[in-house]
Amino acid sequence: MVQDQQDLDLYSKEYARQLDEHDELASYRDEFYINPNSIYMDGNSLGLLSKRAEQSLLDVLGAWKHQGIDGWTQGQYPWFYLAEKLAAMSAPLVGASADEVIVTGSTTVNLHQLVATFYKPQGIRTKILADELNFPSDIYALQSQLKLHGYDPDEHLIRVASRDGRFLQEEDIIAAMTEEVALIVLPAVLYRSGQLLDMKRLSAEAHARGILIGFDGCHSVGSIPHSFSEWDVDFAFWCNYKYLNSGPGGTASLYVNRKHHGITPGLTGWFGSHKDKQFDMEHQFHQADTAGAFQIGTPNILSMAPLIGSLELFAEATMEKLRQKSLHITRYMMELIKHELSDMGFTLGNPTEDERRGGHVSLEHQEAARICKALKELQHIVPDFRAPNIIRLAPVPLYTSYSDVWETVQRLKAVMVDKQYEKFANMRDVVA
């Protein structure tokens, strides 16, 4: 909190305005298309469109329009090298070298690729370690990979239990790292509660037991700084359409530690070839000597294009400043919630400690689905519902103001005081 605000009411609208005036990232809000008639709190599901992302998409479309197939090697962003260009732009966000990252595929396809590569059951080491709070798609992929190896997922997929249904204890994860475990796949940030796991510690503990470990960064990349290479993480994968604002279904990314370069990908395809050999059309796979080897098919160029402009914003703003604001604005939101909503049945379901919190606030309430509908339809706040009882609110540092946060809490209070939620059924829509 800034010095000249000491005499202001900490919970007043004027205090929020003062915070906005002192926000060194406030100018980036103008870079985004923001609906003036609503407040967007769902950037941890789908980030907003930036003007630069729009322009880079138009630039790539223009290359197709005017150059046709020559766009692969000519123009402002030659498509043949676009995945590598975006990898170099992404690498600082995850603490990696450019050759350890590639922009390709989708989150689940990349997970399949990485597990197909690094899951090598041998002897009694046949099990995969995950957790019971992970996003379902990750679990489906792990179950599928086990079946492909002839193993029963009920027996060979270990899911570390949560003690309270919200959080995971690192001690419990470490205790499950037995001599039967061949591979570990965990979320960097839990998608419901927003808990940030200690990836450095978990990687060290896994390696001390001879186990490879990878992380799902969908709810962390673009929200918190990472040091994958320093932490000696074996692999990671993430989507780019949440905090990184690449657009719905935008191409995903993966990381492979340089020490594993040269290993044959479990799923090979022609775009994993060494660039100089790709068009020789031989029936021998000459894989790239970088993370690019883990590409399978032809890149989705139009899906990748918005990421060019989006990543420019991150390079300018820096992850350090974004994380600083994220921690401050989520803490501010939690303080407002405690002050305004303490007697209305809400429970804060995310960690309060800075070192354990990702980028969103997780509110629990037995009427969560109805409250989300009332917020969206009557109060013009865009939240996110996660079954069975969670309201996720994500104040994204690049485009969310402190005034947005203040207004969101006030409108949430109105929903509760006036019982506006009673007009709706307490069940999710088709897309939650």
Instruction: Give the separation between CA 393 and CA 405, rounded to whole angstroms.
Output: 9
The answer to whether 422 touches 337, Cβ cutoff 8 Å, is no
Phi, psi of 170 (to 5 degrees): -55, -35
Task: Compute how many other C-beta atoms are within 10 angstroms of the C-beta atom of residue 399.
Answer: 23
Per-residue tokens: 219: 């709810």
347 annotated as a binding-site residue: no
352 annotated as a binding-site residue: no
Phi, psi of 160 (to 5 degrees): -60, 130
271 annotated as a binding-site residue: no
Which residues lie closer than 8 Å to 223 by C-beta, 6 or more apart? 44, 189, 243, 322, 323, 326, 358, 359
Residue of 268, 261, 238 whose CA lies nearest to 103: 238
Identify whether residues 304 and 344 lie together within a single domain: no
Beta bridge partners of 158: 129
Statement: residue 62 has pLDDT above 60? yes
Per-residue pLDDT of 106-150, as tens digits, reads 999 999 999 999 999 999 999 999 999 999 999 999 999 999 999
Helical ranges in 209-300 per DSSP H: 228-231
Range 25-44 average pLDDT: 98
Q: Give the percent of the chain with pLDDT over 90.
A: 96
Q: What is the CATH number of the domain that holds 351?
A: 3.90.1150.10
Token pair 């009920």 is found at 154
In the DSSP assignment, the letter for residue 214 is: E
Q: Is 174 a domain residue?
A: yes
Print the domain residue range for 330: 3-31+319-423
Amino acid at 363: L
Statement: residue 4 has pLDDT above 80? no
Instruction: Give the separation between CA 95 and CA 426, rounded to whole angstroms.
Output: 42
298 annotated as a binding-site residue: yes
Tally the domains of the chain.
2
Torsion of CA 217, 218, 222, 223, to 10 degrees: -90
Q: How many C-alpha atoms does 277 have within 13 Å on its Cβ side?
A: 14
Identify whether residues 97 and 169 lie together within a single domain: yes
Per-residue pLDDT of 309-365, as tens digits, reads 999 999 999 999 999 999 999 999 999 999 999 999 999 999 999 999 999 999 999
Confidence grade of residue 233 (pLDDT, cut at 50, 70, 90): very high
Statement: residue 3 has pLDDT above 50? no
Identify whether residues 334 and 287 lie together within a single domain: no
72 annotated as a binding-site residue: no
Q: Is 41 a domain residue?
A: no
Identify whether residues 389 and 363 lie together within a single domain: yes
Identify whether residues 303 and 358 lie together within a single domain: no
Question: What is the pLDDT, as a whole number, of residue 1?
Answer: 43
263, 283, 316 - which closes a domain: 316
Distances from the Cα of 357 to the Cα of 84, 155, 326, 328, angstroms: 31, 32, 10, 11
Per-residue pLDDT of 152-198, as tens digits, reads 999 999 999 999 999 999 999 999 999 999 999 999 999 999 999 99
293, 316, 339 - which closes a domain: 316
Q: Is 304 a domain residue?
A: yes
Confidence grade of residue 431 (pLDDT, cut at 50, 70, 90): confident
92 annotated as a binding-site residue: no
User: How far is residue 157 CA from its own chain's centroid?
Assistant: 23
Beta bridge partners of 18: none
Q: Give the percent of the chain with pLDDT over 70.
A: 98
Q: What is the CATH number of the domain that holds 136?
A: 3.40.640.10
Range 227-242 average pLDDT: 98
Beta bridge partners of 195: 357
Identify whether residues 134 and 273 lie together within a single domain: yes
Statement: residue 430 has pLDDT above 90? no
108 annotated as a binding-site residue: yes
Distances from the Cα of 46 to the Cα of 42, 234, 244, 383, 395, angstroms: 6, 27, 9, 11, 12
268 annotated as a binding-site residue: no
Q: What is the DSSP string of 329-383?
A: HHHHHHHHHHHHHTTTT-EE-S--SGGGB-S-EEEE-TTHHHHHHHHHHTS-EE-
Identify whether residues 67 and 190 lie together within a single domain: yes
220 annotated as a binding-site residue: no
Per-residue pLDDT of 278-301, as tens digits, reads 999 899 999 999 999 999 999 999
Statement: residue 398 has pLDDT above 70? yes
Statement: residue 415 has pLDDT above 70? yes
Statement: residue 5 has pLDDT above 90? no
